[in-house]
A and B are shown apart, each in its own frame.
Chain A
């Protein structure tokens, strides 16, 4: 009687294991088709350290959700001006970061591509807050 139970449980276990194996095989092909997810995740607005960063991240997400989502790709830079803004505020604080963002907005016209490297992934001009310029914009004053 005991042997019967052991044999039956072994058989059931074997069946269960073999099923899991085939499930894993079919599971490999779940993403053979694109899932159509075009929602973007903005990592720039995460890991806020203080209230100012929380406020600016909120403003950034509001702009991205309701305005930028309806817009054409018009920014000539990578990261885009809004992403640059939040990164600059997070890195240099509200005043310097704000000034840097305003400066960036005046530069966002594509008239001086020779001053920047090209981001090969997006084919846009690379300009990150705090990064050294690829080409000196003005001559240094001695």
Chain B
């Protein structure tokens, strides 16, 4: 019986035809073409694991990166584009991977890394690559607050310069909002900083709360004693007064971001129209 089991095992191993690397890669490629990116990525990773001599690395790294890009895991996609970049000698492919990396870093709002990759791009690019680079440059400069550079890049993409000028004029007005000014205004009078940036609800809220506490403190001071009023009301007043002017600064920063976001998306609308 033991001998029979042993023989069966041996024959099984001999006869069995396991999936080899070529088949795994072909299967992954099929999944990739079917746009089943999650499954394709897992199949590619399996192939990478068994590819001890790195025969398929050049082919697989960009595919894994593309899969990750398509399933919106941009952080990991950058790592695989990096591997793809160093696994090839073809400059055209290298440029393509660099551009994809810039795209990923922009989407995950990692502007400094996007800028580093932008600097890694060579001087000479094809027309398509140059167009893509200008588009990324325009977005990156806008995100980093370098508006003149962003404007000139957007002007190269959007033909109608009046729209670009108009939107950047709007953007310049946003730069006039000062979070520091909002804070100082709220120190002078609670709620004023919030009103300055256009947040009426929070402005009135802060004003009513702090003046209400002052009124309550004065009433206690007159009816009971100033010491009692100080002990019971001052800590509350300090919390809401200090909270009010610190929040005014935060609200101002958020308002600037909100307005810039709108201008930026209008610029993207124009880019979309052009395409």
A residues with CB within 8 A of B: 19, 22-23, 26, 28-38, 66-67, 69-72, 74
Contact = CB atoms under 8 A, between A and B. Distances in A.
B257 to A, nearest CB: 3
A81 B220 CA distance: 28
B258 A36 contact: yes
A30 B268 contact: yes
A67 B213 CA distance: 12
Contacts of B202: 69-70
A26 B268 contact: yes
15 contacts: A23-B272, A32-B139, A33-B143, A33-B257, A33-B264, A36-B254, A36-B257, A36-B259, A37-B254, A38-B250, A70-B205, A70-B206, A71-B239, A72-B242, A72-B243
Interface of B: 103, 106-107, 109, 139, 142-143, 202, 205-206, 209, 239-240, 242-244, 246-247, 250-251, 253-261, 264-265, 268, 271-272, 275
A38 B271 contact: no
A32 B109 contact: yes
B247 A69 contact: yes
Given A22-B275, A23-B272, A32 B239 contact: no
B171 to A, nearest CB: 11
Interface residues of B: mostly helix, strand, loop or mixed? helix
A35 B261 CA distance: 5
B103 A28 contact: yes
A32 B246 CA distance: 27
A67 B268 contact: no
A34 B243 contact: no
Given A26-B268, A26-B272, A34 B109 contact: yes
Given A28-B103, A30-B268, A38-B250, 17 more contacts: A22-B275, A31-B107, A32-B106, A32-B139, A32-B143, A33-B142, A33-B143, A33-B260, A33-B261, A33-B264, A36-B256, A36-B257, A36-B260, A38-B254, A69-B247, A70-B240, A70-B244
Contact of B258 (A19, A35, A74): A35
The 8 closest A-B pairs by CB, nearest first: A36-B257, A36-B258, A22-B275, A72-B243, A36-B254, A71-B243, A38-B254, A26-B272
